[in-house]
Structure 1
Amino acid sequence: MRVEIWSDIACPWCYVGKARFEKGLEAFAHRADVEVVHRSFELDPNRAKGDVEQVVDMLAKKYGRTPEQARAMEETVAANAHAEGLGYRTEGRDNGSTFDIHRVLHLAKARGLQSELLDLAYRANFAEETSVFDDEVLVGLAVRAGLDEAETRAVLADPAAYADDVRADEREAAELGANGVPFFVFDRRYGVSGGQPAEVFTQALEQAWQSRGPLTPLAASESADGATCDADGNCA
């Protein structure tokens, strides 16, 4: 069985949702027979490379909140992250274009190292005092994940490298009706939206496993809703 997960490295609920999904998968009896594929989704596809700002400032402007209110929003997500055993910094984090990160994640996928790089990138973005929107940081993370440094630099230097793969993932998300992330698709049969509790993911896995057979279109009625970040970058 295949589970496809659309997410963005800038999405806090994707970070939390990945941890919850993995706990749900661990409780699934047939977990050894599940293939997990991570797919690209940009929350802010129009943001230019190099346009980087602090997350709290971004939230205050986007939602028309005071800096204090924006920090409170971050504290809410942090509490959820900490409950899953994840680190989360509410101050000093950057927000920027994730297109290059997705391109390097596709390189990692081609080399069988996608999950390793995704974990490192999430941790760097949400828990560590570093910026994943810096090319040198991204190269360092890629090397730590097992990628070749020269190959990673070549991808970053060529804006076309893996760009079609990122765009294809995003088109497919739109075709499936995903307007926010994280978005989980189980055998192209059931959709689960948002950072749901682990038991919801276990239930979805069991339901998809029991109904294996000819693929049918993913229906809106088969999608559960949870905390997401939408296509406009709004997280709730």
Structure 2
Amino acid sequence: MRVEIWSDIACPWCYIGKARFEKGLAAFAHRDEIEVVHRSFELDPHLAKGDTAPVIDMVAKKYGRTLDEARAMEEHVASNARAEGLAYRTEGRDHGNTFDIHRLLHLARASGRQDELLDLAYRANFADERSVFDPEVLVGLAVEAGLDADEARAVLTDDSAYADEVRADEREAAALGANAVPFFVIDRRYGVSGGQPAEVFTQALEQAWQGRTLVPVGTTDAAACDTDGACEVPQA
């Protein structure tokens, strides 16, 4: 059974949702028979390459909040991440165009190292003091994931490399009606939207395994990031 996950490295709820999904998968009896494929989704495709801004400034602008309010919103997201055992920096992070990261993730998928690179990229973006918008940082992450440095650098310097694959993922997301991430599709029969609790993912996997009809899973909407780059912050 295949699980496809549309996400963006700039989305904190994708970072949290991946951890929750993996906990839900670990509780699923047939976990060894699940294939996980990560698909591309850009929160801010209109941003020019190299056009970055501090995350706090971006959050304040998106939500029309003061910088102090934006910091409080980031801290709330951080508390959700830390509850899943994830490190999360609320200051000193940048937000920008993620197209190159997605292209590199497609290279990693072709080499069977996609999940490893995605984890490293999330950690670099949300936990470490490394900018995922620096090409040399991305090359370093690719090497850490087991890819060849020259091959990774060649992809990053050729804007056409894996561009079609990224665009195909994004068209498919639109066709499926996904306008926010994370978005999980289980065996093309079940859809789970947002960073749901781990037990919701376990339930979805069990129901999909039993061959039930495609329905949204979860009694309420979970936090997600939309196509304007805005990330919803649930109330405590």
Q: TM-score range by the shorter chain?
A: over 0.9
Instruction: Provide Cα deviations, 1:96-130, integer angstroms capped at 9, x if missing partner.
Output: 11000000000000000000000000000000011
What SS does the corresponding residue of 2:4 show, helix, strand or coil?
strand
State yes or no: 1:90 paired with 2:90.
Answer: yes
Amino acid corresponding to residue 165 of structure 2 in structure 1: D
Please give the secondary structure, in 1, of the residue aligned with 2:38.
Answer: strand
Aligned partner of 1:160 in structure 2 is: 160
Alignment deviations for residues 47-88 of structure 1 (CA, whole Å, 9 cap, x no partner): 111101100011111111100000011011100000000000
Q: Deviations over 1:170-219 (max 9, x none)?
A: 0000100101000000000110000000000000000000017xxx7x5x
**Which residue is 1:63 aligned to?**
63
Counterpart-to-counterpart distance in 2, 1:149 and 1:86: 27
- Determine if contact 2:204/2:217 at 8 Å carries over to the other structure: no
Give the superposition deviation at 1:223. Answer: 4.6
Structure 1 counterpart of 2:226, from 221, 227, 230: 230
Q: Which runs of 4+ in 1 moved over 2 A?
A: 221-225
Listed as ranges, the matches of 1:118-157 within 5 Å are: 118-157=118-157
After superposition, the C-alpha distances for 1:130-163 in whole angstroms (9 at most, x for unaligned) are 1000001000000110000111111011100000
Q: Please say if residues 14 and 182 of structure 2, whose CA atoms lie closer than 8 Å, have aligned partners that are also in contact.
A: yes
Report the counterpart of residue 186 of structure 1 in structure 2. 186
Contact 2:5 2:185 in 1 (8 A): yes
Distance 1:180 1:201 in 2: 17
Hey, what's the Cα distance between the residues in 2 that align with 1:170 and 1:20?
23
Give the aligned residue type for 1:204.
A
Equivalent position of 2:29 in the other structure: 29
Residue type of the partner of 1:232?
A: D
Matches within 5 A, 1:67-86: 67-86=67-86
Letter in 2 for 1:230: D
In the alignment, structure 2 segments of 5+ residues that lack a partner are none
Q: 2:227, 2:216 → 1: CA distance?
A: 21
Q: How many residues align?
A: 230
Contact 2:20–2:197, Cα closer than 8 Å, also in 1: yes
Indicate the SS of the match to 1:222.
coil
Structure-1 separation of matches of 2:104 and 2:230: 24
Identity rate of aligned residues, in percent? 78
Moved more, 21-30 or 226-235: 226-235
- 1:190-205 → structure 2 map (5 Å cutoff): 190-205=190-205
Aligned to 2:2: 2
Alpha-carbon distance between aligned partners in 1 of 2:217 and 2:100, rounded to the nearest angstrom = 30
- Whether the 8 Å contact between 2:193 and 2:216 is mirrored in structure 1 is no
Following TM superposition, by how much is the alpha carbon of 1:222 offset from its aligned partner in structure 2, in angstroms? Answer: 2.5
Structure 2 CA distance for aligned equivalents of residues 65 and 123 of structure 1: 27
Query: Where do 1:198-217 residues align within 5 Å?
Result: 198-211=198-211
| TM-score of the two chains, using structure 1 as the length reference | 0.96
Paired residue type of 1:143: V
